[in-house]
Amino acid sequence: MNKKHMDEIENQMKLANAGIPEKERDLFADARPVKVDPFNKYYEGFLNWARSRSLWMLAFGTGCGAIELRPLMTSRYDMSRYGIAPRPTPRQASVFIIGGYSSIKTIKRIVRSYEQMQGPKYVIALGSCTINGGMYYDSYNTINRLDYYIPVDVYIAGCMPRPEALIAGFNRLKEKIRAGECEGMNEYTEKFDWYKSNQKQIIKDWNMPDYNW
């Protein structure tokens, strides 16, 4: 395989970024996300232990379920004793809580924020709406299944689930992280084309890069 052929394959692997204007395309990255393997077993185990005790969740209330996060922060439920802290920027957050229904306008922002988070990243889907649409199953602008658009680690059923249920969900997430089962970041990379086609099917005005670094 000569160099020219390699370049061709590389070009095909690049993202088209068709949604953004031609003259702005240079400003955005066009590389695909790459799969990053875990470190060796013992080091990864240690890191997972630390990650499970220091969950930084993205402070982005994507739906009505975000109202349940406020009592969780305050003194009655106090999530900080579990090492859970809100972070205001996706660059630093590791847990993304989808609060209930997500409309098409929101799912666009959700995808953007999710892709900007630095892995390993975890998603907790809160409420019935993320599972099968909940009471909005026949709505024209809310999605029915969240796992078609981003990988989900833990579902918390209910409408709305109480903060206790959220804490239980967090504990389930911790168990999964410690067992090394939360590889949503690599799952997203492997099935990237499938996720993208699902996303593009509902987000009609795709005016952002195909992968947001």
Partner 1 sequence: MEQLIRKIKGMVSLKAYIKQRDDLHFITVKKEQLELILSHLKNNEGFTHLAFLQAVDFIEDGKFQLTYMLCNYETNVNLGVLVLIDRDKAEMNSIHSLWAHAWQYQRELFELYGIDFPGSPRVHESFVLEGWDEIPPMRRDFDTLEYSDQTFYQRPGRSTNDPAEYMKEKMYKNYAASPMIRRDNE
Partner 2 sequence: MSLATQIFYAVISVTVATAYGLTLGGITRKIYARVHGRFGPPVWQPFLDIIQTSGRRVSVSHGNMFLLGPVFRLAGGLGTYLFIPVIYGSAVFSNFSMAGDLLLVMYFVFFGQLGMALGAGQGGHPYSPIGIARGLAQMSTFELPFALAVIAVAIQYNSLNITSIVAAQQGGFMNWTLFTNPLAVVAAMISLLGMNMHSPFSIVLAPQEIPIGPPIEMNSGFLSILQTNRGLFAAAKLVLFMNLFFGGATNLLEMVAKTFFIYMFSVFVGAAYPRFRPEQSFRFFLKWPTIAGILSIIYIAYLGGTS
Work out the angle between the directed axes of helices 104-116 and 192-202 (0-180°, nearest 10): 150
78 phi-psi bin (left φ>0, alpha ψ -120 to 50, beta other): left
What's 161's DSSP letter?
A: P
User: Is position 203 an interface residue for partner 1 (rule: CB under 8 A)?
Assistant: yes
Pick the binder of partner 2 from 16, 67, 70, 89 (CB under 8 A). 89
CA distances from 161 to 4, 45, 65, 188, 212 (A): 56, 31, 8, 27, 31
Q: Minimum Å distance from CB 127 to partner 1?
A: 14
User: Is position 61 an interface residue for partner 1 (rule: CB under 8 A)?
Assistant: no
Q: Which does 202 bind (CB under 5 to 8 A by kind): partner 1, partner 2, none?
A: partner 1
Q: In what order do the strands lie in the sheet with 55-58?
A: 84-87, 55-58, 95-99, 122-126, 154-156
Q: Which does 140 bind (CB under 5 to 8 A by kind): partner 1, partner 2, none?
A: partner 1
Q: Which does 189 bind (CB under 5 to 8 A by kind): partner 1, partner 2, none?
A: none
Interface residues with partner 2 (CB under 8 A) are: 36, 38, 46-47, 50-51, 53-54, 56, 74-75, 78, 80-81, 83, 85, 87-89, 91-92, 94, 118-120, 185, 213
